[in-house]
Amino acid sequence: MLSDRVRPAGEPHHATGTATLPVAPWRLFDVQVRATRRLSPSFLRVTFTGPDLDRFADNGYDQRMKLVLPLPGRPGVHLPGGADWYAHWRALPEDERCPIRTYTVRAVRPHLAEVDVDLVLHGDSGAAGRWALRARPGDEAGLLGPDAGYHGDHGGIEFRPPAAGHLLLAGDETAVPAICAILERLPLDARGQVLLEVPDPTDVLPVVTPPGVTVDWLARDGGGHGSRLLPAVATAARRLLCPTDAVPTGPIADIDVDRTPLWEVPTPTAPVPVYAWLAGEAGAIRALRRHLVAERGMDRRAVAFMGYWRHGGPDPA
């Protein structure tokens, strides 16, 4: 079983005695693995179940959540309690700190008390990779995610397009689950281009899209991260952006991805010709942002970019 409840980023309070305290946006769910399914060489789907996963909010799009993993050789999952749980968790010795990794919710089935999470496999490296390759039905874990009992904004969704215009969605394999989930929630009249860079040609997955949205899978097949994505985005930008769409801008400040998290998610207040959502390896995403904003003159208020991970850096918690 999990330790005393944690309240990360708005986890709800629970009833104490006869008093019912307010529900907050996020909570910790006790879960077990129900099934695993290898989707391709690089993708593994883990289906979780739990006694209260019927309360896990089905928000769709790129809803983030956190997977809490057990320590090797120890039963259950344990996290510090209280409002400062994350700082206390980081302060724990490594051999006492349950690994936490951030993922996108791929699917929610409240009526079955199930949540799907698609994990990218990079071999037997990293805590999440080792756990995923060995996961079996009944294995315990924890999910920090949105509570359906909270009726406000849960947070953790960065796809915020304007009401009109074209979409340009681009990312590497770490962004594939998010982009696939976004596509399933788009309106039927949506228009745009989706570019997905994956390690292997056999990593192409089935995806549901509106008729006006084109999806291109770009296999690196041994190439470097971004080697296929950067030229494909440049080509798509030339097609989607007219010269009159350019917004005058001065030089944009470069971002040192080794020191500063690459994460900027604007919310357009008016329709824009093109809305771009970019996620993946931080260095590649930084280059895409520079091209779209500094070189193509795209309004930076219409470009959401997220460094999901950094080449050579630790796995993000």
Q: What is the pLDDT of residues 215-265, one digit of tens each?
A: 999 999 999 999 999 999 999 999 998 766 666 555 555 655 455 578 899
Residue type, 52: D
Q: Is residue 79 part of a domain?
A: yes
Residue 68: give its domain's CATH number: 2.40.30.10
Q: How many alpha carbons fall within 13 Å on the CB side of residue 17?
A: 1
Q: Is residue 5 part of a domain?
A: no
Q: Is residue 4 part of a domain?
A: no
From CA 293, how far away is CA 246, in angstroms rounded? 9
Element (H, E) at 77: none
Helices (H), 222-317: 229-240, 282-290
Query: Does residue 295 share a domain with residue 184?
Result: yes
Query: Does residue 224 share a domain with residue 177?
Result: yes
Query: Does residue 171 share a domain with residue 297?
Result: yes
DSSP track, 102-117: EEEEEEEEGGGTEEEE
Q: Is residue 116 part of a domain?
A: yes
* Pair 81, 5: CB distance under 8 Å: yes
Residue in 177, 69, 201 with CA at minimum distance from that of residue 120: 177
Give the residue numbers spanning the domain of 176.
166-309
Could you tell me which residues come within 8 angstroms of residue 147 by beta carbon, excluding any fewer than 6 positions away? 11, 12, 23, 24, 25, 26, 27, 55, 56, 57, 154
- Name the domain count of the chain: 2
Query: Does residue 129 share a domain with residue 229?
Result: no
Both tokens of 4, joined, read: 């005393």
Q: Is residue 129 part of a domain?
A: yes
Among the candidates 146, 177, 196, a domain finishes at: 146
Query: Does residue 134 share a domain with residue 90?
Result: yes
- 34-92 tens-digit pLDDT: 999 999 999 999 999 999 999 999 999 999 999 999 888 787 787 787 778 889 899 99
- C-alpha distance from residue 146 to each of 53, 104, 151, 262 (Å): 10, 12, 10, 24
Query: Does residue 214 share a domain with residue 120?
Result: no
* Pair 145, 66: CB distance under 8 Å: yes
Query: Does residue 218 share a domain with residue 173?
Result: yes
Query: Does residue 139 share a domain with residue 54?
Result: yes
Query: Does residue 172 share a domain with residue 75?
Result: no
Phi and psi of 267, rounded to 5°? -120, 105
- 257-308 tens-digit pLDDT: 455 578 899 888 888 899 999 999 999 999 999 999 988 889 888 999 999 9
Q: Is residue 213 part of a domain?
A: yes
**3-state SS, one letter per residue, for 184-195:** HHCCCCCEEEEE
Query: Does residue 128 share a domain with residue 61?
Result: yes
Query: Does residue 268 share a domain with residue 203?
Result: yes
Residue 216: give its domain's CATH number: 3.40.50.80
Q: Is residue 142 part of a domain?
A: yes
Query: Does residue 274 share a domain with residue 177?
Result: yes
pTM: 0.88
From CA 45, how far away is CA 37, in angstroms rounded? 5
Q: Is residue 286 part of a domain?
A: yes
Work out the percent of the chain whose per-residue pLDDT is above 70.
85
The average pLDDT across 108-126 equals 90
Q: First-to-last CA distance in the chain?
A: 21
Greatest mean pLDDT among 27-31, 138-142, 261-265 lies in 138-142
- C-alpha distance from residue 43 to each of 107, 151, 168, 177, 315 (Å): 15, 33, 23, 9, 17
pLDDT band of residue 13 (cuts 50, 70, 90) is very low
- 165-189 tens-digit pLDDT: 899 999 999 999 999 999 999 999 9
Residue type, 43: F
